[in-house]
Amino acid sequence: MSFKKMALVTILTLTTLSLYAHEGHDAGMAKSLHGGIVKKSKNVFVEVVQDEGIEIYITDHEYKNLVSPKFPVTAYADVKGKKIPLKLESHATNLTVTTDLKKEKHFKLNVVVKFNGKDEEVTFPLEN
Protein backbone atom coordinates (compact mmCIF):
# COMPACT_ATOMS: atom_id res chain seq x y z
CA MET A 1 0.00 0.00 0.00
CA SER A 2 1.32 3.44 -0.86
CA PHE A 3 2.13 6.05 1.77
CA LYS A 4 -0.80 8.27 0.66
CA LYS A 5 -3.31 5.44 0.98
CA MET A 6 -1.93 4.41 4.37
CA ALA A 7 -2.10 8.00 5.65
CA LEU A 8 -5.68 8.36 4.38
CA VAL A 9 -6.78 5.12 6.05
CA THR A 10 -5.13 6.17 9.31
CA ILE A 11 -6.79 9.60 9.29
CA LEU A 12 -10.24 8.15 8.49
CA THR A 13 -9.87 5.52 11.22
CA LEU A 14 -8.85 8.04 13.86
CA THR A 15 -11.63 10.44 12.85
CA THR A 16 -14.25 7.70 12.98
CA LEU A 17 -13.06 6.46 16.37
CA SER A 18 -13.04 9.95 17.87
CA LEU A 19 -16.60 10.60 16.64
CA TYR A 20 -17.89 7.38 18.18
CA ALA A 21 -15.99 7.97 21.41
CA HIS A 22 -17.98 11.15 22.12
CA GLU A 23 -21.40 9.89 21.12
CA GLY A 24 -23.91 9.53 23.95
CA HIS A 25 -21.60 10.74 26.71
CA ASP A 26 -22.48 13.43 29.20
CA ALA A 27 -20.50 12.05 32.13
CA GLY A 28 -20.50 14.64 34.85
CA MET A 29 -21.84 17.35 32.58
CA ALA A 30 -24.81 19.26 33.91
CA LYS A 31 -27.32 20.37 31.32
CA SER A 32 -28.71 23.86 31.20
CA LEU A 33 -32.50 23.93 31.41
CA HIS A 34 -32.82 27.71 31.05
CA GLY A 35 -29.89 28.73 28.83
CA GLY A 36 -27.57 29.71 31.67
CA ILE A 37 -24.32 28.59 33.26
CA VAL A 38 -24.64 25.44 35.39
CA LYS A 39 -22.38 24.50 38.30
CA LYS A 40 -22.61 21.35 40.37
CA SER A 41 -22.17 21.18 44.11
CA LYS A 42 -22.19 17.95 46.09
CA ASN A 43 -26.00 17.63 46.11
CA VAL A 44 -27.46 20.23 43.74
CA PHE A 45 -27.12 21.93 40.38
CA VAL A 46 -27.18 25.73 40.40
CA GLU A 47 -27.95 27.50 37.13
CA VAL A 48 -27.46 31.23 36.71
CA VAL A 49 -29.08 33.12 33.84
CA GLN A 50 -27.88 36.69 33.32
CA ASP A 51 -30.00 38.82 31.02
CA GLU A 52 -31.67 42.05 32.12
CA GLY A 53 -31.29 40.73 35.66
CA ILE A 54 -29.88 37.64 37.32
CA GLU A 55 -32.00 34.51 37.79
CA ILE A 56 -30.94 31.51 39.87
CA TYR A 57 -32.39 28.02 39.39
CA ILE A 58 -31.63 25.20 41.83
CA THR A 59 -32.35 21.54 41.13
CA ASP A 60 -31.31 18.20 42.52
CA HIS A 61 -29.23 15.88 40.36
CA GLU A 62 -32.41 14.51 38.76
CA TYR A 63 -33.28 18.12 37.71
CA LYS A 64 -36.20 18.42 40.16
CA ASN A 65 -36.80 22.02 41.25
CA LEU A 66 -35.70 22.72 44.82
CA VAL A 67 -36.65 26.41 45.10
CA SER A 68 -39.14 26.85 47.92
CA PRO A 69 -39.50 28.96 51.07
CA LYS A 70 -38.28 25.94 53.09
CA PHE A 71 -35.04 25.65 51.09
CA PRO A 72 -32.51 28.21 52.39
CA VAL A 73 -30.42 29.97 49.74
CA THR A 74 -28.24 33.05 50.14
CA ALA A 75 -26.00 34.86 47.70
CA TYR A 76 -23.32 37.49 47.71
CA ALA A 77 -21.25 39.29 45.12
CA ASP A 78 -17.49 39.34 45.41
CA VAL A 79 -16.39 42.67 43.94
CA LYS A 80 -12.61 43.16 44.07
CA GLY A 81 -12.43 41.10 47.27
CA LYS A 82 -15.35 42.87 48.95
CA LYS A 83 -18.37 40.69 49.81
CA ILE A 84 -21.70 42.38 49.05
CA PRO A 85 -24.77 40.52 50.40
CA LEU A 86 -27.47 40.15 47.78
CA LYS A 87 -31.21 40.28 48.25
CA LEU A 88 -33.02 37.37 46.61
CA GLU A 89 -36.67 37.29 45.61
CA SER A 90 -38.27 33.85 45.48
CA HIS A 91 -40.56 32.76 42.65
CA ALA A 92 -42.17 29.40 41.91
CA THR A 93 -39.18 27.90 40.09
CA ASN A 94 -36.35 30.37 40.57
CA LEU A 95 -34.81 33.19 42.57
CA THR A 96 -34.00 36.64 41.23
CA VAL A 97 -31.28 38.96 42.47
CA THR A 98 -32.86 42.29 43.33
CA THR A 99 -29.64 44.05 44.34
CA ASP A 100 -28.40 46.39 41.59
CA LEU A 101 -25.00 45.30 40.30
CA LYS A 102 -25.07 47.10 36.93
CA LYS A 103 -22.28 49.53 37.89
CA GLU A 104 -19.88 46.62 38.54
CA LYS A 105 -18.07 45.53 35.37
CA HIS A 106 -16.69 42.24 36.74
CA PHE A 107 -17.78 40.35 39.84
CA LYS A 108 -18.22 36.84 41.19
CA LEU A 109 -21.69 35.67 42.14
CA ASN A 110 -21.52 33.22 45.03
CA VAL A 111 -24.62 31.13 45.71
CA VAL A 112 -24.79 29.31 49.05
CA VAL A 113 -27.32 26.49 49.43
CA LYS A 114 -27.97 24.83 52.78
CA PHE A 115 -28.52 21.13 52.08
CA ASN A 116 -29.06 18.73 55.00
CA GLY A 117 -27.67 21.34 57.37
CA LYS A 118 -24.44 21.90 55.43
CA ASP A 119 -23.52 24.87 53.26
CA GLU A 120 -22.69 24.16 49.62
CA GLU A 121 -21.29 27.09 47.67
CA VAL A 122 -20.80 27.61 43.95
CA THR A 123 -19.21 30.62 42.26
CA PHE A 124 -20.02 32.19 38.90
CA PRO A 125 -17.73 34.82 37.33
CA LEU A 126 -20.05 37.42 35.75
CA GLU A 127 -19.70 40.74 33.98
CA ASN A 128 -22.00 43.52 32.89
Domain count, the chain: 1
Q: Would you state the pLDDT for residue 7?
A: 66
Residue 93 maps to a domain: yes
CATH classification of the domain holding 98: 2.60.40.1930
Domain span including residue 74: 37-127
Question: Per-block average pLDDT, block size 10, for the chain (128 residues)?
Answer: 70 60 52 91 95 93 90 94 94 90 90 94 94
Q: Would you state the pLDDT for residue 28?
A: 55
End-to-end CA distance of the chain: 59
Residue 114 maps to a domain: yes
Q: Would you state the pLDDT for residue 23?
A: 44
Give the separation between CA 109 and CA 94, rounded to whole angstroms: 16
Q: Would you state the pLDDT for residue 51?
A: 87
**pTM as predicted:** 0.75
**Phi, psi at residue 11, to the nearest 5°?**
-65, -45
- Helix or strand run (H / E) with residue 48: strand 44-50
Residue 91 maps to a domain: yes
